[in-house]
Chains A and B, each alone.
Chain A
Amino acid sequence: MMKKIIFYLAFCLMGTSFVAVAGDTTATLRGNAITDDAYPERMPTIENDDVKRARNYPMQPPTIPHKIDNYQVNINVNKCLSCHSRRQTEESQAPMVSVTHYMDRDGNFLADVSPRRYFCNQCHVPQTTAKPLIKNTFEDVSASLRKDKEKHRRETASVRKNKTILVGDEPTQPLLQPGFPDHGRIHRRYHFLGWI
């Protein structure tokens, strides 16, 4: 009997904690209680300053730095290409769509934009002034490489000083024995000579 009561109590506790957690996360994004009707946020405006934005990774489709309201892209016409196509860029001075857009999937070049790349908005989108709901901790590849390099520099520097390396808060093994030259580093620095 006692066992049964304890079991039920534990079950109830588990239940409540689960609901509480779920409720918290939902409320954070929602901004109001689930039972209340929210007042709609102001509509964000489209950024229209024609300033090119950095790409977050090399193959990212560039975002559109201008308004595209009512741009017709269908079987009859592609409004984007009326500035960005190969033929139109001289007059419009807009960036030409990448040559990859003139290739079919086997890599053959076509006279005009490939049908599979025709619908610009499948990949390219304008940006609004809206604030992100959740902070983005994304780090692009160059930033993480730079960090890596920096970390390596610190490690080799501390080796030279005959010290044990500390990465973050955790003590680790020294990468190299003191007194030995850093062959890896030399190799990296001069490896371009390899094919001369």
Chain B
Amino acid sequence: MGGFIAGIIFWGGFNTVLEATNTETFCISCHEMNNNVYQELKTTIHYSNRSGVRATCPDCHVPHKWTDKIARKMQASKEVWGKIFGTINTREKFLNKRLHLAQNEWQRLKANNSLECRNCHDLEFMDYTRQSKRAQAAHSTRLESGEKTCIDCHKGIAHELPDTAGVEGF
């Protein structure tokens, strides 16, 4: 009985902490996130738009499913390391590392078929007739056939791009 209650407390506590680290407030409590990427997000459609639906950091950068989320959180322990040792604690250091950091995210989204995009933007429910001609043409062919995934074309939509010399698609 005691073990059961301890289990509830442990699991509840673990989950609460996990959820607390999965909020935008937590992300931008570090100046590295607040002063760089968060400020850039503010000018984009994922922050401010006509309908007021917005994406917060974990919506795009943390998988929603529990197993994937835990896997990502374990990877994120490296980011804690980076925070402690100040890998990107100045603007210059951040800019120097920006291409590397961006590539990590591009690879992650490429590998999981842009899962975080599709959590909201589901192809099943896309109405091509309400899209512009160019969007229709691209989505109904290469996206639908699976030849391309969201991130292949939509890089740099929520944050500024690093130097893209040599990056495919630029």
Contacts and interface: CB of A to CB of B under 8 A. Distances in A.
Interface of A: 48-50, 66, 69-70, 72, 75-79, 81-82, 88, 93
Interface residues on B, range: 10 to 19
A76 B155 CA distance: 13
Contacts of A81: 170
Contact of B134 (A50, A79, A88): A50
Contacts, number: 35
A82 B133 contact: no
Closest 7 CB pairs of A and B: A77-B161, A77-B164, A76-B163, A50-B133, A82-B170, A48-B132, A72-B161
Contacts of B161: 72, 76-77
Contacts of A93: 137
Contacts of B157: 70
Interface of B: 43-45, 132-134, 137, 156-157, 160-164, 169-170
B52 to A, nearest CB: 17
A77 B134 contact: no
B45 A77 contact: no
B43 to A, nearest CB: 7
B163 A77 contact: yes
B45 A69 contact: yes
B140 to A, nearest CB: 14
**Highest count of chain B CB atoms <10 Å: which of A50, A69, A82:** A82
